[in-house]
Every structure is written in structure tokens, then in C-alpha cells.
Amino acid sequence: MTENTIRTVKIQNIVAECLGVKTFTFNNINAKTPKPGQFVMIWVPGVDEVPMSLSDFDDKGNWAITVKNVGECTKALHDLKVGAYIGVRGPLGNHFKLPADKSKKIILIGGRLGTAAIKFLATKLNNTNIKFHLIYGLVYEKDAIFVKDFLKFDLNNSDINLCIDFD
């Protein structure tokens, strides 16, 4: 199969990250291994197909997307339950290049849902002992996602700054 073939996958887990944002996990073990920064096309049967950043991947073939409920397709996705099936094409697109020199520190900057692709990259950097500094900006603390995941990182490799701009 190529990365352009639609594969049917079963939703294994759904986590409500904050109001209107959920992370969906599915197993896609027979697909090409994704790299941080790549995206997938998610097809909700009978509705539409939309691009989504990958927010996680593990060596068991579990992939995750983090989705804000903003349109017809994302609403349909949010209405699905664990055990439902969706279509996946990918991974597609370019990826972040990891530095060969692990002594160089990388700066990652993101906010709210824009941290989906950054989470995947930060996890990869942490797991390969590449040092990084994450600056995570928000307008409201209640919109924070992935904070528990970020706090599990090896502090020898990472510095995490949460910046909240209250109105």
C-alpha cells in the first residue's frame, strides 16, 4: 500500500483535551511510519475528508490526531465513539528534520491547537535525547492541551514555558 491509499482504522481511544478539542487514537501499524511534521487525510464516511496534523505516534503503530470541533467534518468526527471506523491516508507532506548534532538546542513555539504537530516533534526529540526549549502560548489557561504530556518529558532534555495572556 502507498501512503495515498485510504486505510480503514478503528478509533481506539478518545480524550477530551479541553472544550471543543479531542484527541483520537487509532492503530495504523501497516502504514508507512510517520515523521514529526507530516499530516494525514482523515475521512469520515458519508461526510468528508480533511487534513489533520499528527499529534502522536508510537512504535506499536498507534497514531493520534487532535481535532477542534469547527466544521461539518470535525463535528462528525467529534460525534464518533470508541470503536467507530474512519479512513486514513498518509503520512503526507514534509517533515521536520532532526539535527545530527544532538548538542544543539532547538526552540519550539506553539499555541493551543498549533501544538499538535509540535507535541509529536517534542516527543521525538525527548525520546532521542535532543535538547529543546518549548514555549507554549495561550490566551486562557482553560484552553491548555498536552500539559500533562509535556511535564512527563526528561527535564535533562527539555525546558517548558507556559505563557498565558489573560484578557
pTM for the complete prediction?
0.91
pLDDT digits (tens, 9 = 90+) for 53-84: 999 999 899 999 999 999 999 999 999 999 99
Domains of the chain: residue spans and CATH: 7-92 (2.40.30.10), 106-164 (3.40.50.80)
pLDDT digits (tens, 9 = 90+) for 99-151: 888 888 899 998 888 888 899 999 999 998 888 888 888 888 888 899 888 88
Q: Average pLDDT of the chain?
A: 90
Query: Could you write out the DSSP letters of every residue in the chain?
Result: --TTS-EEEEEEEEEEEETTEEEEEEE-TTSPPP-TT-EEEEEETTTEEEEEEEEEE-TTSEEEEEEE--SHHHHHHHH--TT-EEEEEEEES--PPPPS-TTSPEEEEEEGGGHHHHHHHHHHHHHTT--EEEEEEES-GGG--SHHHHHTS-TTTEEEEEEE---
pLDDT of 1 over the 60 cut: no
What per-residue confidence (pLDDT) applies to 113?
82
pLDDT band with cut points at 50, 70 and 90 for residue 166: low
What per-residue confidence (pLDDT) applies to 3?
66
pLDDT of 48 over the 70 cut: yes
pLDDT band with cut points at 50, 70 and 90 for residue 167: low
Lowest-confidence range among 3-7, 33-37, 44-48, 132-136? Answer: 3-7
